[in-house]
Amino acid sequence: MVLIAYMAIATLITVVFPLIYSIRHNDDIALYVGLAAASLILFIAIGIAVAEWVRPRAHVPEVRQPIDPTIPVMLFISGSFFYAGLFTYVTLKSGLFFRRVGFEGLVERSLAMPIYELVIHRSFMENATTLLCATILLLVTVRLRPFVRIYAILVWLAIFALYSAFVIANNRFQSAILFFGISIALGYAWDATKWRRSYLVVAIAAVVAFSAYSFRVTRNMRDEISIAGCVHPTVLDPTLTAMDIYHRAVADPHLCKGSVVTDIMAQIQAGPKNGTSGDLNQDESAKRVLDSEKRPWDQRLNSLGLISAITRPAFSTGFGYGAFWVEPLSLYYYYVMDRDKYLEIKKQLRTNPKVYIANHYLDKRIADAPSSILTDAFANFSFVGFILAGVLMGTALGWTDAVLRSTTSAGAAVLAFFLMEKLLYTEKEMLTLVVDLMKFSPVPIVAAALLWRVQLRRHPPANESTIPVSPSPLIL
């Protein structure tokens, strides 16, 4: 299931959406067709082949001496709840529950946080989906005492409500990953061999529908904060437009406490006064400003955009052969050895390979651009990088699918869910993916160690010994 989900997302991100962009904008269609074909053959097809080869050969951990799950599961659930509480506290304290404050503003607020608060904030963002998926697996496949089960369900609902609200407000792609992850976790947890394909179709349709809705809500939240300065429940209306939000803000100047005039509202009000157009009224000024703030969806999802821009200069002047990974990695060296240099790099937003790629080939400074695992792989190794990306992702996906299909260790499943969560972020560059796997692994590793000997019971043999947990009947 995780293989199918990843390849579906990867095909959209690295083939379908870039082609749509090139056709809609008549932008070097021949080059885009060639890059999309290379992605389909050298990346996606090779990834599927490698995953199918790895899956039956992967080592899948098994529990040979299971333990009573009550204490480790209680510790895991309580730890998750405490972790979520700490995240809520430091996030609200730092004003980062809504992170769409611009790259510069986000860096400034992050650097102002004590290091332990930043670690809590960032690591929970990167691990919450793993914790939620692991809890689903425990609830469905582990014999738990009734009070443990009820406690786990309540904590799961609380964390899900918190994290889903956070991702819907901030990151549309992350919200899709959350719901994909939950659907995949349910599919692996249930003995659904007879209807798994139909379940997957329904799950994907549901996730796509909810993601489309959450995308609209996220956009409404961003627009309302940018225009009015606050958020109201009306943002949940998917039919709302930026002009609707503007009209509501004009009709009620005290809509937000403090009545702060946002930058966008100031631009709108200044339009008619500047006399740029003699007959330009307030609504026309608002439409012009709001249209200038929009970023077309096909541009946001065009992960081959930077690759297409650097293809000709890269073949002319040469590829990086790993050079575009040196500078981003030096950030961690400077964090320990030269704090001033570290702060300089962070404030200048030079923290990922695509910044250096654009600067080297295009002599252009960027803060962000749509990307994928192919972006830095191509800039470093040309089309061989596509093959390397396919082998890397295929190996990881094959192991993840094998473990989630048949492991009897809850701890091993936690590690597999963590890897799954990171793999599904197809917008991340290769270096970012590898660094994130190492940087955010401590929490999953601790959870895996705690739950390693907790046995998952999907297809227990009839004569298998069990761990007595309660004299009363339990729901599996």
Ordered alpha helix ranges (H), 142-195: 146-170, 172-189
CB distance 70 to 145 below 8 Å: yes
Residue 2 pLDDT more than 90?
Answer: no
Q: Which helix (H) or strand (E) holds 139?
A: helix 115-141
In terms of average pLDDT, the best of 122-131, 177-186, 343-352 is 122-131
Distance of CA 422 to the CA centre of its chain: 7
Burial of 458 by CB count in 10 Å (0-12 exposed, 13-18 middle, 19+ buried)? Answer: middle
Ordered alpha helix ranges (H), 40-101: 46-54, 70-93
Total Cβ atoms within 10 A of residue 72 = 21
Residue 230 pLDDT more than 80?
Answer: no
pLDDT at 88: 94
pLDDT tens digits for range 435-469: 999 999 999 999 999 999 999 886 544 334 444 44
Who contacts 332 (Cβ-Cβ below 8 Å, separation ≥6)?
A: none
Residue 131 and residue 129: Cα distance in Å, rounded? 5
Q: How far is CA 117 from CA 104, 161, 169, 334, 356, in A?
A: 19, 21, 21, 20, 29
Residue 63 and residue 446: Cα distance in Å, rounded? 18
Mapped onto helix, strand or coil, the DSSP state of residue 474 is coil
pLDDT tens digits for range 105-121: 666 777 778 888 889 99
Positive or negative torsion for Cα 181, 164, 441, 100: positive
Rounded to the nearest 10°, the torsion over CA 295, 297, 300, 302 is: -140
pLDDT at 56: 92
The rounded mean pLDDT for the chain is: 82
Positive or negative torsion for Cα 9, 13, 15, 19: positive
End-to-end CA separation in angstroms for the chain: 22
Residue 236 pLDDT more than 80?
Answer: no
What is the residue whose two structure tokens read 């437009």? Answer: 241
Residue 270 and residue 230: Cα distance in Å, rounded? 21
Provide φ and ψ at 193, rounded to 5°: -60, -30
Positive or negative torsion for Cα 459, 450, 182, 430: negative
pLDDT tens digits for range 188-218: 887 543 445 565 566 667 666 766 776 677 7
Q: List the structure tokens of 123.
A: 């690591």
pLDDT at 465: 43
pLDDT tens digits for range 120-136: 999 999 999 999 999 99
Q: Where exactly are the structural domains of the chain?
A: 2-161+382-451, 171-294, 306-378
